[in-house]
Structure 1
């Protein structure tokens, strides 16, 4: 029995010779079957384009999977793909079901913005930081990939590239944590089988940055603040130095939370997640008191009047101008908090005092200033040493200092501390 014209052994010449489907035909495509590979079909449309399909039955249901268009997909490639699909069916797997499952997996961009971010906004106070990291770093790299296409290697290369570009280890670690958190959520919600970001080690961080304004720098910085044209930004920067507050805390400060009469500023939600009270010195109270209230806006440092009840953006441009005017480099807004702590310790505050002033939930964070306290104690100890030396051998001490007793008893000499 000779094969029907619709059934023949596929080869390149035979497929090329197939005519377009007749426009008078009821079906839009003509279907041809390969006698060498059961289930392999070639469909020809009215424009003459030819497509390979694999037709099969799974659990008494007829299914079809598109393999590719001829000639980009050759007859040999189509048959090889059919054999792979038949092997899946023999193992009880429905190839079309697996394909649909893969096609239903969203891209990283879609999952991050439409699934993760709405969730983060309800459970995280720092969700705005997540959105910024997504827009500036993660989506440009992974946004076009489906979730299952992201590999451990691609994440590690992304982090290593960030280091090459000069990102700080702490910044890279925040990006690592975010992508790990997003993909972990995708696993929990059934979009992924495993999290490719799991087990990627953190970069070594050095959080003990010691940069303080002191001496002539402090004087130059203050003079530059006085000369700054943007007075709102200048007051904001000055308050960072006078209170030791975090940038975010001061940006979110509201008039009802500042009591300039009693010198108390209430921070409703600090970094530790708790309310804290900031004790204001006289200078800080004066700066807070001169901030003009904008009708309808509760923020001490309001933003553009175009947006209702908006806060000011971090005054980075004004800060850069102040640094240039003062001739100061390598200084961040957060370093003003460190400078406040340094000045407090130098004025005699204990580490416990500094912990309370800065709102540290643990004394471990305050230990970075312990060397400053040590220097102050060494100065006090040297004062005691000088006093003892004068009693024991005043000539030696006075000769080294160029001073004279002129008949004053040793114990009457005042030692400056």
Structure 2
């Protein structure tokens, strides 16, 4: 029996033969049928989706019309990539959008932007990837991964038959800096060498594995300091976007977590709150030197560099303290699930499928790392 399915855009009709016909009203206000019928309804819907995508990108031509070279050239890599980024605004964090835009405008589009999307080839992508400055391996890997993701969407949109971004190892990040893992004693020594108001940064990163942006965003109410529990709950992180500090959710859902801390940190944290934190439950734990507002990372960076050199680790970075924390937990007997949970890695849920981490176990591990 023939039937018609109306959609939000376009129409699919089942013919008496059992095949499906797809049609839509185009920008020219005329109804256009697919050039052939389809054996399956999903194929008809796929054709409609492709036509709608072309309309959205501004490169649509009526089905069956003579190809227009000017219209073909409109859908360049630059046009498609910028539209992809515009559509990503609602699902990516502001800082990520800024980074992606930088990769596109500074690395990808100057070389590949004018290439018609449908004509982009694997050798062209390979040549572009090989031509990136090898002095910046992480940046290059991120730019390539972004391009590969954009082109994967073009394949899904049926604008490309296959993804031309097929560079083996193109998205692999090679470390220029080998992270330094401090002992518990060295972390305490580093904290003592820092100006007193910044010591808590080294302790929270070195024993709790917090990222610097997470430490910047901590409020008093995020700390639990009792006889029964010493912990920090990560609910937000600070990022700098367009020259402004923004308080946002952490990097991922897994980053929303409660991390047990060594009980030995309790008197240090209590003293810090009395002397340096903003008042009230929502007061910032780590505050700018003026006594109010989010601290700029540069304010900590120079004192940190001097303190690191003074304990014999001139190449130490603040982020290395997170690596130090994970190493300490691992040495204390933490399982993979323990480490994933504490670090807030996105694969924590996957690790939890085959091993388990409990709050009591984590608290015991936190106490143990203090003595290493």
The answer for the alignment partner of 1:99 in structure 2 is: 70
Partner of 2:324: 339
Aligned mates of 1:188, 1:350 — CA distance in 2 = 41
- 1:213 aligned residue: 182
Tell whether 2:149 aligns with 1:181. yes
Counterpart Cα distance in 2 of 1:182 and 1:304: 43
Give matches, 1:1-150, under 5 Å. 94=66, 97-102=68-73, 104-105=74-75, 108=78, 112=81, 115-125=83-93, 128-135=95-102, 137-144=103-110, 145-146=113-114, 148=116
Q: TM (normalized to structure 2)?
A: 0.53
For each residue in 1:335-369, what CA deviation from the matched residue of structure 2 results, as whole angstroms up to 9, or x when unmatched?
A: 212222333455x44436555544451559xx9xx
TM-score, length basis structure 1: 0.48
> Is it true that 1:293 corresponds to 2:261 in the alignment?
no
CA distance in 2, matches of 1:255, 1:216: 26
Aligned to 1:324: 309
Counterpart-to-counterpart distance in 1, 2:289 and 2:153: 36
- Alignment match, 1:273: 253
Q: Is the 8 A contact 1:255 1:298 kept in 2?
A: yes
Specify the alignment match of 2:43 in structure 1: none
- Using the alignment, how far apart are the partners of 1:302 and 1:195 within structure 2? 51
Q: Which has the larger radius of gyration?
A: 1
Which one scores higher on RCO, CA 8 angstroms, separation ≥ 6?
Answer: 2
Query: Separation in 2 of the partners of 1:199 and 1:226?
Result: 49
Preserved contact between residue 184 and residue 328 of structure 2 (Cα < 8 Å): no
Question: Quick one: structure 1 residues 117 and 248, their matched pair in 2 at CA, closer, same or farther if it must change by over 3 Å?
Answer: farther
Note if contact 1:264-1:279 (Cα within 8 Å) is conserved in structure 2: yes
Measure, in 2, the Cα distance between the counterparts of 1:111 and 1:213: 46
Q: Deviations over 1:61-101 (max 9, x none)?
A: xxxxxxxxxxxxxxxxxxxxxxxxxxxxxxx8636x33134
Q: Is the 8 A contact 2:231 2:258 kept in 1?
A: yes
Q: Secondary structure at the match of 2:258?
A: strand
Q: Is the 8 A contact 1:244 1:336 kept in 2?
A: yes
The 1-side partners of 2:187 and 2:230 are apart by: 24
Report matched runs for 1:111-260 at 5 Å. Answer: 112=81, 115-125=83-93, 128-135=95-102, 137-144=103-110, 145-146=113-114, 148=116, 151-162=121-132, 164-168=134-138, 171-186=139-154, 192-193=159-160, 197-203=164-170, 204=172, 211-214=180-183, 217-218=186-187, 221-226=190-195, 231-232=197-198, 234-260=199-225
| 1:73 match | none
Q: What's the secondary structure of 2:233's corresponding residue?
A: strand
Name the count of aligned residue pairs. Answer: 258
Structure 1 pair 225–133 and aligned structure 2 pair: CA distance change class (3 A): farther
SS in 2 for 1:200: coil
